[in-house]
A and B are shown apart, each in its own frame.
Chain A
């Protein structure tokens, strides 16, 4: 399905397809900002607190800037964003397409000679491939700010010291690899969700099953691929 959807990428440039993609970007991106903000903020705060408490035992709490930033950029940013999007947007895509299959809307598209993969999958795939890195960037920024707040309020690390320390050790590579992961995760979520949606049978029960499977398969694939990409770019 991923391959077939990619063959329709050229049609993404058409005006009507662009409209669908922007609509999907709004659904996947803007509507997820609230939950992503809360999760990112607390992820950064927890990271800062946990690492800060341990580092303080050795008088090294000034390094939480690096610890939080590197972990957010490399792993937690793309990972947390992907989990949120898989659970909210991925499950919604599976439920939407699954319901369309059950109510014969997909069959109606076929009769009208409208390719369901181009019409339904391509806009969702493209929108997630664009929105995932943007959302991940947002998660990274909010997470790092969360860490800075904990550093300043509970670990006696000033904001200036926190960000200076982060700038000193965090590399551009950390950001790029994290963003690459986010694009891959976006493709995984869209493909799994659409595939599960199209595979729906047996009415409402089937829609529920497709939704559950989407979340589980996406989570597992994201975990495994996350490790593989990390292993590829960061050799021991």
Chain B
């Protein structure tokens, strides 16, 4: 569905991505983990061409998005929903107006119908009561849920999540995790989640790829990821108190 082919991206002299090569399959929950500054968000932004690679290319459903013309880019971006780290809700609009914005801009549906759909999506993320509230009056977790409702309103094929649980308390983080898993299952979408929270990654991911030094150093399912022999992966697991003894469930239980 999404394929990175030898993608290199430099900021100044530093190659944040250095020949990254991997493929994300249709319908899976793919997690990208790594330390801060490893290039996780940069990878995500390449998928919707908020950034373009210096070398290599990114394919979406076999089409190269990296050099697509403006019309093709718009068409290809319509496949995506994107949950930004901050939520990126427009501050002068209410949560309901934010959620309905993509439909208001791209459909000829009357306002009443758009509002009805926006309410349904907000209900889906457990936020129906926030329809008339402005983002400034919502908590961090509520903002992210409202942003998720906006991301799914046009029923995209792929949803990208940039650090969906960062800055949230553990309970809200698990709620967001469940929401991502439910959304993926109910809507049958491909989900790509960038996080440094391994608890989230192991809970909801079908496959986990770890970025380090500009490269994917490990790509495996949760069990394979915990059993990885890569030193960087072991250190990363240990830094979050996740041991290789037993399964992931056993290690969290301990």
Contacts and interface: CB of A to CB of B under 8 A. Distances in A.
Interface stretch (A58-66, A83-91, A105-113, A150-158): A105-113
Number of chain B interface residues as a range = 20 to 34
Contacts of A110: 50, 77
A164 interface: no
A19 B153 CA distance: 23
A94 B104 CA distance: 25
B86 A111 contact: no
Contacts of A16: 104
Interface in B16-61: 48, 50
A103 interface: yes
A114 interface: yes
B203 to A, nearest CB: 26
Interface in A77-133: 100, 103-105, 107-108, 110-114, 119
B4 interface: no
A154 B102 CA distance: 61
A119 B106 CA distance: 12
A16 B111 CA distance: 10
B159 to A, nearest CB: 11
A114 B102 CA distance: 8
A26 B130 CA distance: 27
Interface string B76-108: 011011101110111100000000011011100
B74 interface: yes
A231 to B, nearest CB: 40
Contacts of A105: 88-91
A107 B50 contact: yes
Contacts of B89: 105, 108
B50 A111 contact: yes
B105 A107 contact: no
Contacts of A108: 82, 84, 88-90
Contact of A113 (B50, B74, B88, B104): B74
Contacts of A113: 74, 77-78, 102, 105-106
26 contacts: A16-B104, A100-B90, A103-B88, A104-B84, A104-B86, A104-B88, A105-B88, A105-B89, A105-B90, A105-B91, A107-B50, A107-B84, A107-B88, A108-B82, A108-B89, A108-B90, A110-B77, A111-B80, A111-B82, A112-B77, A112-B102, A112-B150, A113-B102, A113-B106, A114-B102, A114-B105
Given A108-B88, A110-B77, A114-B105, 5 more contacts: A108-B89, A112-B101, A113-B78, A113-B105, A113-B106
Interface of B: 48, 50, 74, 77-78, 80-82, 84-86, 88-91, 101-102, 104-106, 150
Interface of A: 16, 100, 103-105, 107-108, 110-114, 119
